[in-house]
Amino acid sequence: MTARPLSSRVALITGASAGIGQATARELATLGARIAVNARREERLVALVQELADRGDQGPDDARAIAVAGDASDEPVIASMLDEPEAAFGAPVDLVVINAGRGLAGSVMTSDPGQWEEMIRINLVGAARLLRAAGERLSRLQEQREWPEHAADIVVLGSTVGRHISPFSSMYGSTKFAIGSLAEAARRELGPKGVRVSLIEPGIVASEFQGVAGYDPGSFGAMMDTFAPVLTPEDIARLIGFIVKQPAGVHLSGTVVRPTRQEYP
């Protein structure tokens, strides 16, 4: 395997203004991919694109990273996320990380119902829309290419609470159960077409996630201390890099990754 195993790849990463998405953009760029990043906070994306350009580890070519700002659950934004990288890089996206999402503290009984629709829209509807659009494009792309010369990847961020029921965040968990099942169904549908759909289900990762979800800093902080060290976004990014740099005929399709001392969920 070469030192820059993704040098022929074009990657799209949603939710790249923070946390796992941002770390994944850096990791895939280090592995040689050209990168398109999405999130709503455009100024952060612009800074990230600049950082990747300034790092100078992207080789001699121009335009190794671009930003496509907007809500990742909007159909026109999804179309732009797939069209703009091809226009900028002269090669189609063949690696999509469906990462944008948010948490929500509480169960169906205790969570804030005013936030349900926004969460379901990005975590499930938006993720499903991108899964469909990326699945269509990547399977068409693979039809035109010699198998198994080229890999094509869709990586989906699930969660351990999308596999093990947690009464403390069950509304959020329900969206991750749903996207986990869609990812596995898409793997069965798209794998035979040469497209790998990989589900990653992390336990606790320290990021902006906990603040956005509204977890109580006291009790949740104490739980994080119990599990310390919790995962970092870079831990997940490294794992994504490992999965997508495998030869096209090798598929690590489902990964649960927890802090070692997190026994549950």
Ligand X SMILES: NC(=O)c1ccc[n+]([C@@H]2O[C@H](COP(=O)([O-])OP(=O)(O)OC[C@H]3O[C@@H](n4cnc5c(N)ncnc54)[C@H](OP(=O)(O)O)[C@@H]3O)[C@@H](O)[C@H]2O)c1
By beta-carbon proximity to ligand X, the closer residue of 99 and 111 is: 99
173 in contact with ligand X (CB under 6 A): no
By beta-carbon proximity to ligand X, the closer residue of 4 and 235 is: 235
Choose which of 81, 209, 239, 258 interacts with ligand X (CB under 6 A). 209
End-to-end CA distance of the chain: 36
265 in contact with ligand X (CB under 6 A): no
By beta-carbon proximity to ligand X, the closer residue of 233 and 241 is: 233
By beta-carbon proximity to ligand X, the closer residue of 202 and 241 is: 202
20 in contact with ligand X (CB under 6 A): yes
Choose which of 104, 122, 171, 199 interacts with ligand X (CB under 6 A). 122
132 in contact with ligand X (CB under 6 A): no
By beta-carbon proximity to ligand X, the closer residue of 40 and 251 is: 40
The answer to whether the beta carbons of residues 203 and 160 sit under 8 Å apart is: yes
The answer to whether the beta carbons of residues 58 and 64 sit under 8 Å apart is: yes
18 in contact with ligand X (CB under 6 A): yes
Q: How far is CA 171 from CA 30, 103, 201, 217, 241, in A?
A: 36, 9, 17, 19, 30
Would you give the DSSP letter of residue 189? H
15 in contact with ligand X (CB under 6 A): yes
In terms of Cα–Cα distance, which of 206, 207, 212 is closest to 230? 206
Choose which of 8, 51, 53, 71 interacts with ligand X (CB under 6 A). 71
97 in contact with ligand X (CB under 6 A): no
For residues 67 and 76, give the distance between their C-alpha atoms in angstroms, rounded to a whole number: 15
Looking at residue 203, its amino acid is G
Q: How far is the CB of 53 from ligand X (least distance, A)?
A: 19
124 in contact with ligand X (CB under 6 A): no
40 in contact with ligand X (CB under 6 A): yes
Would you give the DSSP letter of residue 122? I
Quick one: which segment of 1-9, 33-41, 50-58, 249-257 binds ligand X (CB under 6 A)? 33-41
56: left (phi over 0), alpha (psi -120 to 50) or beta: left
Quick one: which segment of 14-22, 78-86, 131-139, 216-224 binds ligand X (CB under 6 A)? 14-22
Looking at residue 144, its amino acid is Q
**Which H/E stretch holds residue 202?**
strand 195-202
3-state secondary structure of 66: strand
Q: Please give the residues from 136 up to 155 whose contact with ligand X meets the rule CB under 6 A.
A: none
For residues 236 and 71, give the distance between their C-alpha atoms in angstroms, rounded to a whole number: 23
83 in contact with ligand X (CB under 6 A): no
For residues 57 and 79, give the distance between their C-alpha atoms in angstroms, rounded to a whole number: 29
Q: Where along the sequence are the contacts to ligand X (CB under 6 A)? A: 14-21, 38-41, 71-73, 99-103, 122, 157, 159, 202, 204-205, 207-209, 212, 233
